[in-house]
Amino acid sequence: MTKINIISIVLIMAIAGGCVIVKHEEEQPPPPVLEFSPTPEMEMSDVMVRSDDGDMVAFLPKDWFLVNLEGDSPVDVIAVATNKEYTIALIFSKIRKSKKNDEIVAREGLLGLARIALDRRSDKTAGAVRLAGKYSEISMGPRKFAKYEFTNSDLGLRGISAVLISSLDNFYEVSVIPMNLTGIVPVTQYDLDRVFSSVLATVQY
């Protein structure tokens, strides 16, 4: 695995910042609220990811490692991790605050933040990234997240993201993305879901 491959994943699937265009949808029934177990499904390690402000921390699954991006990642990417097979990428990022984003979140809450997160992906990939399924909310004990899944023309499996608002009113996103860069049989959607729920169970904010 070369650094350029990892950088490409970050730039394509987790690019941060830029112009945000929020598309308001027709009035629809409230999104489902998913109850996630606060206990990880996978064995987790003691490798911690921590935001610069210290208001969001999470842990990696066992045998996963942080990728050294050497300053080449987008400014809002906090950390990128992968498993030893290089089949799944885990990306932690901060969503930039702005007057427009603050207004959307004040009006729509976590679901508005999820729409902002998807729109920044779509905007930076010329519309290649698109919503797969519907937005939903996650309840994990006292912690709340909004979840969305996304895909593009080159991605057979869906990427999964959760957004959250920290105690310091910062906006964060945790994304799980499938990779097929080593010739290994790609992971299944079950594998991605398992990583996603396990990592989310360790997120504290």
Residue 179 placed within a domain = yes
Residue 58 has pLDDT above 70, yes or no: yes
Residue 28 placed within a domain = no
Q: What pLDDT score does 183 carry?
A: 67
Residue 86 has pLDDT above 50, yes or no: yes
Residue 140 has pLDDT above 50, yes or no: yes
Residue 26 placed within a domain = no
The average pLDDT across 20-29 equals 41
Residue 154 placed within a domain = yes
Residue 26 has pLDDT above 80, yes or no: no
The average pLDDT across 85-110 equals 95
Rounded percentage of the chain residues whose pLDDT exceeds 70: 79
Do the beta carbons of residue 57 and residue 49 sit within 8 Å? yes
Residue 25 placed within a domain = no
Residue 1 has pLDDT above 60, yes or no: no
For 158-169, how does the pLDDT look when each residue is reduced to its tens digit (9 = 90+)? 899 999 999 999
CATH code of the domain containing 39 = 3.40.1000.10
Residue 188 placed within a domain = yes
Confidence of residue 71 (pLDDT cuts 50, 70, 90): low
Q: Which domain does 62 fall in, by range?
A: 3-16+33-202
Q: What pLDDT score does 157 carry?
A: 75
Do the beta carbons of residue 189 and residue 197 sit within 8 Å? no
Is 177 exposed, middle or buried, given 0-12, 13-18 or 19+ CB atoms closer than 10 A? buried
Residue 138 placed within a domain = yes
Count of domains observed in the chain = 1
Q: What is the DSSP string of 14-47?
A: S---S---PPPPPP-PPPPEEE--SS-SS-EEEE
Residue 149 placed within a domain = yes
- How far apart are the C-alpha atoms of 165 and 29, rounded to whole Å? 23
